[in-house]
Structure 1
C-alpha cells in the first residue's frame, strides 16, 4: 500500500515537472520568436518614417497603418498567451477591455488590407488615373475612416457587453483564461461579433478576387507592364493568405477549448503552440516579409536599419557610410 502511494506520488510529481517544463519551454520559444518579429516590425515602422519618399507615398502610408496595427496585435497576443500559459486570470472588466481592444486592431488590419488591394488594382488597371485617385489626402481620409469605423465597432461591442450585468463581477476574478468566449456572454454580443467577422471575411475575399481578376485581365493588354502586373498578382495572393490567417484568429480560442476536451494536457499544449504560431503570430509578420523583402525601395533601407540596430554602435560608422549610397 505504501509502495503504491509512493508510486502515485512520483507519477504526479513527474507530470507536474513535465507540465512546468513544457510551459516554460513554450513560453520562452514563443516569446523569443515574437521578440524577433516585433524587432523587425518596429524597425520596419522606423524605416517607413525615415525617408520622405515613404512618408509621401500612399502605398507606404497604408503599409505603415497596417504594420502598426499588426505590431500592436502581436504584442497583445503574446501577452495574453503568456497569461493563459501560466494560468493567470484577470478581472472581468480588464479582460473585456483587452478583448475589445484586440477587435479594434483586427478590424483595422483587415480594412487596411482591403484598401491596399484596391490601390494595387487602380495602379495596374488605371495607371493614368492612379495619381489623381490615390492621393495623400484621400489616403489620410481612408485611414481616418478605418479607425473611426473600428472605434464605432468597439463602442457597439462595449455597449452589448454591458448588457450583461458586470455589477456583481467587477471585483471577481475569472476562473478561465481571457478570451471572447469568456467576455461575450450575452447572445447578442456574440452574434454581433460573429456577423462582423463574417462580413470582414467576405468583404476581404470578394475584394481580393475582384482585384486579382481585374489585374489578370489587364495583364493581357499590350499597354500594361507585364512585370508590374505579375508582381501585383503575387502580392494580392499573399494578401489573401494574410487576410485568411488574420480572420481565422477569431476562432483560435474556440479551437483550443475543443481540443482540450478530447486530448491530454501535454498534447493539447503542443497543438495550442502550433496553432498560436500559425494563426496568431504568422499573419502579424507577413506585412514586413511581403513588402520589406520584395519591395526594391524598402529592402535596402530596411536591411541597413536592421544592420545598424543589430550590430550596435561598433558598426555605426560603417552603416553611416553605406547610408550615403542608399539616400
Structure 2
C-alpha cells in the first residue's frame, strides 16, 4: 500500500501545486504538462490493471475448477497471492481514480482502507517466502514433504501469513490512534497512507518495522535458494530440466526482490522530500509500476505459465470457455 498510495499522493500534490500557483497556470508552463502527465499516467495504470486482473481471473478460475489443486500446498499458496493481488488492484485503482477526480472521504474510512490495503500488500511477499520454504522442503526434504505440507498445515500457514502481514500496519494504526484527535477522524481528506503519520517519530517506527521484515525475508530466501540450487544441480541428470528449474528459481528470486524492495520505501521517501517536485513525481510513479505492479505480473508467469500441470489446466479452461461461446 505504501507504493500504491504514493501514486495517489502524486496526483494530489500536482493538483494542489497547480491550483496554488496562479501565475504558472495562466502561462500554462507547468499546469499543462502536469495535466497531460496525469492523463497519460491514468491511462497507463488503467490498462495495466485491466490486463493483470484478466490474467489473474483466468488463473483463479483455473484453480477453482480443478480439485487436484486444492490438496497441493504450492497451488493453494499461489491462489492466495492471486486473490490478494486482485483485491489490491481493485481497491488501489479505485483510490487512484478518487485521487484523479479529487474525491475526498472521512479520515476514519480512509484509515481503515489503508490498513486493509497495507495488509494485502505485505501478504504477497510473505506468501512467496512461504512458497520458498515449501520448495525447500519439497527438494531438500522430500520424505517429509507430504507430512509438513499437508492441506491442513497449509491452511494454518495462511492464517500465520495474514497474522504476520498485519503487524506492520497494526503498529502504524496504533500509533495513529494514540496521536490523532477525535475531530481528525471526521474530517474530509484525500485518502493516502501518509495521513496516518501524525508525528515524524511514527515515520521512523514504520521504517524500522519494514526494514526488519525486509532483512528477515531476505535471509530466509537466500538460505533456501542456496540449498535448493545445490540440490537441483546435483540431483538432476537432465541438463534441460536442471536449466529450467534454475531459471524458475531465478525468476522467483527476482520477483521476491522486487516485492521486498518496497520495504525500503519509507527510508527512500524521507530523502526524496527535498528533491525537485517533478522528479519526485516521476520517481514515485516509476516505483509504483516497477515495485508494485510488476511483481504481481510475474506471479502468473512463474507459477501459472511455467507450471506444466497448471498451464495444461488453464488451456483446457480457456478452450472450454471459447467452445461455450461458440
The TM-score normalised by the length of structure 1 is 0.79
Unaligned runs of 5+ in 1: 1-7, 319-327
RMSD, aligned α-carbons: 3.1
Structure showing greater radius of gyration is 1
> 3-state DSSP class of the match of 2:185?
coil
Equivalents in 1 of 2:101, 2:290: separation in Å? Answer: 21
1:214 aligns with 2:227: yes
Shift of 1:230: 4.8
Distance 1:23 1:49, change over 3 A: same
> How far, CA to CA, are the matches of 1:246 and 1:49 in structure 2?
26
Higher mean alpha-carbon deviation, 29-38 vs 237-246, is at 237-246
Matched, 1:248 2:261: yes
Instruction: Provide the rounded CA distance (Å) in 2 between the counterparts of 1:253 and 1:192.
Output: 10
Does 1:193 find its partner at 2:201? no
1:265-324 CA-to-partner distances (Å, cap 9, x unmatched) read 4x5544443332112211122211111110001113324445666x6xxx5266xxxxxx
CA distance in 1, matches of 2:98, 2:25: 28
Name which structure has the greater RCO, CA cutoff 8 Å, separation 6+. Answer: 2
Number of aligned pairs? 304
**What residue is the counterpart of 2:38 in the other structure?**
23
What is aligned with 1:80? 95
Q: Distance in 1 between matches of 2:277 and 2:204?
A: 31
Cα 1:191/1:272, change in 2 over 3 Å: closer
Alpha-carbon offset, residue 147 of structure 1: 1.9
Query: Structure 2: where are the runs of 5+ without partners?
Result: 1-22
1:285 counterpart (278, 297, 302): 297
**Equivalent position of 1:164 in the other structure:** 179
Q: Distance in 2 between matches of 1:219 and 1:9?
A: 61
Report if the CA contact (8 A) 1:87-1:177 is conserved.
no
The normalised TM-score by structure 2 is 0.79
CA shift, 1:145, in A, is 1.8
Q: CA separation in 2, counterparts of 1:18 and 1:70?
A: 32
Match of 1:178 in 2: 192
Q: SS of the residue aligned with 1:169?
A: helix
TM-aligned CA distance change 1:24 to 1:72, over 3 Å = same
